[in-house]
Amino acid sequence: MKNKLLSRLKKLNFGCAALVIAFSFFSLRSFSADRDTVLNSHKIKTIIIDAGHGTRSNGSRSGANGSFSYESNVTLSIALKLQQQIEKSLPDVKVVMTRSTDEDVPFRTRANIANTNKGDLFISIHCNSLPDRRHTEVVGYKKGKRGKKTPIYKTVSSADRSGKGVLLLVYSTKRTGPQVEALRENADLYDDKDYKDQYNGYDPNDPESFIILEAFKNRFRKQSIHFANLINSEFVDTDGRRSEGVREQVLFVLDHTAMPSVLVETGYINNPDDEEYLNSENGQQEIVNSIVRAITNYKKEAEQPRTE
């Protein structure tokens, strides 16, 4: 049993650390990953492009907004350009959109589309925004019983437009159950016979089954981190954009997809400079080109035969 388990883990390109399977990152903590430890040789056949938010059935828009634009419109425009560019630059890759119109799509449906189509990468396009600042100020005075003046306070809000630049998010280890569930529902991922055989007889009380399942989940997490870093490098080194780095966060569309998944915050839509950039043809094309370059590099690494 022990030799069989070690053999399976070796095929997944995990070392002894895979037996521990312990990640202690806190939410929104920045980190990076070593590319040599995360990529197995496999074809990148299908990429899921997720345009964040949309217009609800009652006419309201989900997501953030700037002074003249909405996140739902910006993300759809970027996502459609990204689809076209991938199909042009990587004709052997199938692109699946979670939405191609203004209509909003529930988070669960987005994840189901990704999993049903057996995506090899999931890229969710969003725009960032900061909440209003809230503070109190004195708006007057009133006299107390003994004639003493006491201040009257009022809570006021003001827009916080200080956020600027990109941010890459991967799923948080604080809630891993949904992704485990997604993995179980997609047992033929990467055409891995070992995993399919293990899944078909999956027993949550069997330590070997648990370790194999955890190994796959953590492999996707490491690949997500690596892919996010590739995108971030393109934004910073090629486009010269400000970046808040790669961070983890509990997000439904990331932790419900059984594949390497990254959410791209393309800029702060409530920052005047970022909003202009996000709505410009040049800005959107730069974002798309950077993501496609990162996909191309990731694809080359993933499909390169690895020697033991």
Examine residue 21 and state whether it is found in any structural domain, yes or no. no
Cα–Cα distance measured from residue 37 to residue 15, given in angstroms and rounded to the nearest whole number: 9
Whole-number pLDDT of residue 213: 58
Query: How many independent structural domains does the chain possess?
Result: 1
User: Looking at residue 207, what is its pLDDT?
Assistant: 62
Which ranges of the chain have pLDDT less than 70? Answer: 1-41, 135, 174-217, 306-308
By residue range, what is the domain housing residue 76? Answer: 2-13+42-131+161-303
Q: What is the pLDDT of residue 131?
A: 80
19 lies in a domain? no
**What confidence tens digit (pLDDT) does each residue in 171-219 have?**
877 655 555 545 554 444 334 444 444 444 445 556 655 555 566 667 7
pLDDT at position 251? 84
Q: pTM of the prediction?
A: 0.74
pLDDT over 70, % of the chain: 70
22 lies in some domain? no
pLDDT, tens only, 262-277: 999 999 999 999 999 9
Confidence at residue 183, expressed as pLDDT on a 0 to 100 scale: 54
CA 108, 195, 200, 172 dihedral sign is negative
274 within domain boundaries: yes
Asked if the structure places residue 265 within a domain, the reply is yes
Give the domain CATH number at 245.
3.40.630.40
Give domain status of residue 150, yes or no: no
